[in-house]
Structure 1
Amino acid sequence: MSKKSIGQKSLHFPLTKIIIGFIVCIGIVRIAQTFIKKLMEITSFDKDFKNLIGGIFVAILAIISYSYLFKFYEKRKITEFSKKGIVKNLTLGIILGTILQSLTIFVIYLKGGYSIISINPILFIVPPLTVAFSSAIVEEILLRGIVFRITEEKLGSYLALIISAILFGAMHLANPNSSLIAGIGLAIQAGLLLAAAYIYSRNLWFPIAIHFAWNFTQSAIFGANVSGNTISKTLITSKIEGAEWFTGGQFGPEGSIQATLFCLVATIVLLALSHKEGKIIKPYWKKTTNR
């Protein structure tokens, strides 16, 4: 075996591809954030709109950097961001994410734990819109576009599902007011659901839309904490109180049992549909056996 072939294999080893993907995409995003922040400082825009413009700029650059990196790295067409079916995937994703979050809050309301204190000006949705939009795109590129997709190619859909879900939950353990239970809940809710959404749609628009709608509805509309983080401005100022098992406590509704159950049901449905339509990828050793 030649040194060149060893080098080529090392370069295209799954872990190598994941590390390079993270370094390039995160590096470009960090540089872009610094650049746009400096640029916005010389403008007279309101702070919230500066952040919104910056968030949109960073999100677009994240998509471009991912697309060009893997187009040349893997020498293929980037179907994850295909325009085909984009309206359908974004619409269904937003509807699903909104319904799941609304059901979660509805359980809290039924138990007398949710009340509206005030309804604020419409522009109060700008800060949570910025956070939801940028985080949905960047996190889905990193966790589903890079980690899950590359792992799935070798280990198959189900093992990749578990690995990426654990990683997603672990990443949120450092969040304010987080806990092991909250991390496990997020691993099941977002970690499994969003990867299942990718398997079913075979693009990133569907999980991005679910992720965005979940976070945006939770913060902007219902005025709740998102993964332990409090947004200063929301359309509705609310009061959420009660036992942590159904409110999520200071971590937010994502820490509730019903959020986990609702998302788990949606995950099972998507995986069942994916299995029926032949979209589940087998691990490499089963592919080899079947030849």
Structure 2
Amino acid sequence: MDKVKVVAKTLLLTMVLLVVATLPLQIAIIITSLISMFDVSHITLYQPLAFALGLMGEGFVLFVLRQEFKGDKARLQQVMPFDQKGALIRYGTGYVLGTITFALLWGIAVLGKAFRVTVTWENSAWLFFVLFLVGFGIQGMVEEVIFRGYLQGKLTKELSQSKAILISALAFAVAHLGNGGISFLGFLNLTFFGVLMSLFRIYTGDLWLAGAFHSAWNFAEGPLFGTPVSGIVGTNVVLGSQSVAAHPLLNGGNFGIEASLLTFGGFILLIAFTYYLGQNYAKKSNRIEKII
């Protein structure tokens, strides 16, 4: 019963952290809506600017957690594991891997005629490109700190690694239930995404790889290739990809490619490959000891 209470409390605090993290974005959206009532002509400038700044504002959670655990290095390492040794290599590897993974899935969908692709890039778009690059970089890392750092880290102290992985992955998917266009397949794929990120954390021992992969995936999803980012639209900068209604299993419909059967298969393969590599080549102290 004590474990149940601890798990419930940890889940509740995780959701509180998520609310705090998304608060700057919500405020930015409200302000943008108010401004657009008086100046409709510049709405295409205000909306992406507000969204990018809102994403950056999520970094406040990192400050909150660091302040909360700064007096206890062991607990800080538990919820915010960031090993400085080899950090650049792991972050770079994660970012390249996240970008390539999304690009491959998107490319297959395009070959299957699931998207109508247009070039939306303009010379004046450099500002939005950089702001989204930084914004999604912060947002992806913050979500990993919340779900794979704080939630998974704390649950691992009370439960087996496998149970901690499953709960953190499901909580991550549940957090997206309010997003537009969410479907059962989208929910399932987000759960698998959470499992994959959890494995990255366990086998590397920190969050650099997971945070970078998550950031790169979202940046490629929106600003680079112009698809919905978990149901959120309006972040395209380089390309615009309009979903073809006849191919929802390839493009995921309104939620985006994360709700596609294509992504389902891709995540299953990545999870299996990561598990194989991790269990055979990661440090013994970073391997999963039992499945149940």
Change over 3 Å in CA distance of 1:77–1:118 after alignment to 2: closer
Q: CA deviation at 1:224?
A: 0.5
**Matches for 1:91-110 after TM superposition, within 5 Å:** 91-110=92-111
Query: Deviations along 1:193-226, whole A, 9 cap, x unmatched?
Result: 1111111112122111111111110111111011
Which residue of 254, 270, 280 corresponds with 2:287?
A: 280
Distance 1:252 1:100 in 2: 15
Which residue of 196, 219, 232 corresponds with 1:229?
A: 232
**Matches for 1:124-203 after TM superposition, within 5 Å:** 124-126=128-130, 128-129=132-133, 132-188=136-192, 190-203=193-206
Q: Which amino acid aligns with 1:151?
A: L
Change over 3 Å in CA distance of 1:272–1:110 after alignment to 2: same
**What is the aligned partner in structure 2 of residue 120 from structure 1?**
121
**What is the aligned partner in structure 2 of residue 42 from structure 1?**
none
Considering only aligned residues, what root-mean-square deviation do their CA atoms show, in Å?
Answer: 3.3
**What is the aligned partner in structure 2 of residue 69 from structure 1?**
68
- SS at the partner of 1:81? coil
Query: Deviations along 1:31-87, whole A, 9 cap, x unmatched?
Result: 76799999xxxxxxx74556545543541x322222332344675452612322220
Asked if structure 2 preserves the Cα contact closer than 8 Å seen for 1:128 and 1:219, the reply is no
Number of equivalent positions: 268
- SS at the partner of 2:240? strand
Asked if structure 2 preserves the Cα contact closer than 8 Å seen for 1:18 and 1:150, the reply is no
Asked if structure 2 preserves the Cα contact closer than 8 Å seen for 1:225 and 1:251, the reply is yes
Asked if structure 2 preserves the Cα contact closer than 8 Å seen for 1:136 and 1:208, the reply is yes
Change over 3 Å in CA distance of 1:240–1:18 after alignment to 2: closer
1:56 equivalent to 2:56? Answer yes
Query: Deviations along 1:96-133, whole A, 9 cap, x unmatched?
Result: 11111011111112212233222312434356436523
Asked if structure 2 preserves the Cα contact closer than 8 Å seen for 1:186 and 1:260, the reply is no
**Matches for 1:232-243 after TM superposition, within 5 Å:** 232-241=235-244, 242-243=246-247
Query: Deviations along 1:224-270, whole A, 9 cap, x unmatched?
Result: 01111112542112333132111101110111112122122222222
Asked if structure 2 preserves the Cα contact closer than 8 Å seen for 1:100 and 1:259, the reply is no
Which sections of structure 1, spanning at least 5 residues, go unmatched?
1-8, 39-45, 287-291
Q: CA deviation at 1:177?
A: 0.8
Distance 1:21 1:247 in 2: 31
Q: CA deviation at 1:187?
A: 0.8
Asked if structure 2 preserves the Cα contact closer than 8 Å seen for 1:173 and 1:180, the reply is no
Which residue of 262, 266, 272 corresponds with 1:258?
A: 262
Relative to the length of structure 1, the TM-score reads 0.78
Change over 3 Å in CA distance of 1:240–1:58 after alignment to 2: closer
Asked if structure 1 preserves the Cα contact closer than 8 Å seen for 2:114 and 2:248, the reply is no
Which sections of structure 2, spanning at least 5 residues, go unmatched?
31-44
Relative to the length of structure 2, the TM-score reads 0.77
